[in-house]
Amino acid sequence: KTSRHRPGVCTIDPGLVAYPGTPAATWVFENSGVVQGRSIGLDLQDIVIVPVAAAQQLFDQYSLFRILVEASTKEDVPRAQSAVRDIIRERHDGEDDVTVIAQDSVVATFDKIFKALTFTVGGIAAISLAVAGILIMNVMLVAVSQRTAEIGLLKALGTPRRRIVGLFLLEAALLSAVGAFLGLAIGVSAAWLVAGLYPVLPLSVPIWAVGAALGIALGTGTLFGVLPARRAAALDPVMALSQAKW
């Protein structure tokens, strides 16, 4: 039996210090191992694991707030949950007054939270893409109005309609590519900065995300550049040359 004069058994983090004046500082335990790492909602760096009887005597409490049970395999988890409920119900005079939470239910809850965050971020990204596309379209419309003489000259020389459309679509794609590369540079730099400040967070930028970002940006810019390109190709060469300011 653990007492103030006879050491018990505990597992402790090597960097943890028992400060004088705390209950643990007046007890003597024999260290049987170390525990390190982090878990969901629990910092293993700041805990000491002692026998249940020693903890109840140490803190003068006879009730338990939480019991951790480990199943042998993933398939045994449902049976372990049922067994825990049956044992607690039997010892509590038939009352089902405990909540059994399995790891898969916790993971499922986090999955729901992450899915909600994903949809939220996706909605914000869609709105940002729409705004960026409208900006590109406005820039291209201004470019068409400023290049009326050049467009009229090209059409007067017999330039095909599809080539004029292609020229303006290429310009819209280049504008989108510049914005995409700037956004990628800022995003990757932010990820590296956060990873450097918080090494615990495993932040990385996958290759598929870079390719998807470039593809979506180019597709959005090209799509919103169709209207200005078609407007440029539809200009009448005579009217365009007559309105030009040489």
**What number of other Cβ atoms are within 10 A of residue 222's Cβ?**
17
Tens of pLDDT, residue by residue over 80-90, are 888 988 888 88
34 Cβ contact partners less than 8 Å away, ≥ 6 residues apart: 11, 12, 13, 14
The least confident of 16-25, 26-35, 213-222 is: 16-25
Tens of pLDDT, residue by residue over 150-176, are 888 888 888 888 888 988 999 999 988
What confidence category does residue 119 fall into, taking pLDDT thresholds of 50, 70 and 90? very high
Mean pLDDT for 99-118 is 82
Mean pLDDT for 120-137 is 89
User: Could you tell me the two tokens for 93?
Assistant: 């005079």
142: left (phi over 0), alpha (psi -120 to 50) or beta: alpha
User: Could you tell me the two tokens for 91?
Assistant: 């010892």
Q: Which residues is 29 bridged to in the sheet? A: 8
What confidence category does residue 120 fall into, taking pLDDT thresholds of 50, 70 and 90? very high
Placement of tokens 């009730």 in the chain = 63
13 Cβ contact partners less than 8 Å away, ≥ 6 residues apart: 34, 35, 36, 44, 45, 46, 47, 48
Mean pLDDT for 93-105 is 79
Dihedral over Cα of 171, 173, 179, 184: its sign:
negative
